[in-house]
């Protein structure tokens, strides 16, 4: 097991026990530059000392109304059974999401914590980002930040962002 210094508080542990299996979740430690991706799995033994079965990509999209959405896609492809994937949608105008994005882009590797089904055991490793992918991410986010200008970050929900996500999903 690789020590990464990631600490998850008790409240987060209890929330993670309710998360569906194989659905990653970002854990952001406020006041630090720590960001990790946590995934509950059925059998943690399949992930020990194996090649990391996870790929991550980031892209930006602007709705016709001008609302920006940052999409982080993941693909979990274990050596057993079918793969699974999904997306996180980050709102660059929302304070919490903006901080996750900032931390994500500052890391050359992302800590990945695999939890067994009841969250009693865990395995921590690191996913190193491809430098070319990181350069592309920086370019996309930089262009988005220029377009956004000096807009003030929001703390509350953002209906324009929610509508943009629905448009992006084709709903």
Q: Kindly indicate the confidence band of residue 166, based on its pLDDT and cuts at 50, 70 and 90.
A: very high
| Higher-scoring residue by pLDDT: 122, 30 | 122
Domain residue ranges of the chain, discontinuous segments joined by +: 10-169
Query: Does 5 have pLDDT greater than 50?
Result: yes
Both tokens of 14, joined, read 């209890």
If you average pLDDT over every residue of the chain, what do you get?
84
Query: Does 3 have pLDDT greater than 50?
Result: no
Among 21-25, 48-52, 63-67, 113-117, the range with the most confident prediction by mean pLDDT is 63-67
Q: Would you state the pLDDT for residue 168?
A: 95
Q: Which of 30, 34, 137, 38 is nearest to 92 (CA)?
A: 137
According to DSSP, residue 44 is labeled G
For residues 158 and 9, give the distance between their C-alpha atoms in angstroms, rounded to a whole number: 28
According to DSSP, residue 98 is labeled H
Q: Would you state the pLDDT for residue 10?
A: 67
What is the DSSP annotation of 126-152? EEEPPHHHHHHHHHHHHHHHHHHTTPP
Task: Give yes or no for a contact between 69 and 145, defined as CB atoms under 8 angstroms apart.
Answer: no
Q: At what angle do helices 95-106 and 131-148 cross, to 10 degrees?
A: 150
The tens digit of pLDDT for each residue in 112-153 reads 888 888 888 888 888 899 999 999 999 999 999 999 988 788
Q: Would you state the pLDDT for residue 80?
A: 67
The tens digit of pLDDT for each residue in 65-100 reads 999 999 999 888 766 667 778 898 999 999 989 999
For residues 44 and 142, give the distance between their C-alpha atoms in angstroms, rounded to a whole number: 38
């Amino acid at each position: 097991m690789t020590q990464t210094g990631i600490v998850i508080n008790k409240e987060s542990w209890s929330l993670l026990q309710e998360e569906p299996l194989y659905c990653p979740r970002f854990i952001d430690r406020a006041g630090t530059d720590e960001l990790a991706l946590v995934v509950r799995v059925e059998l943690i033994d399949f992930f020990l000392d194996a090649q990391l079965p996870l790929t991550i990509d980031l892209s930006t999209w602007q709705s016709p109304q001008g609302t920006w959405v940052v999409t982080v896609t993941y693909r979990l492809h274990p050596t057993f059974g079918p793969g699974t994937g999904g997306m996180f949608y980050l709102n660059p105008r929302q304070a919490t999401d903006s901080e996750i994005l900032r931390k994500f882009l500052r890391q050359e590797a992302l800590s990945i914590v695999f939890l067994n089904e009841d969250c009693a055991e865990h395995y921590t490793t690191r996913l190193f980002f491809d430098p070319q992918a990181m350069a592309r991410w920086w370019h996309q986010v930089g262009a988005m930040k220029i377009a956004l200008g000096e807009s003030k970050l929001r703390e509350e929900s953002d209906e324009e962002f929610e509508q943009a996500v629905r448009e992006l999903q084709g709903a």
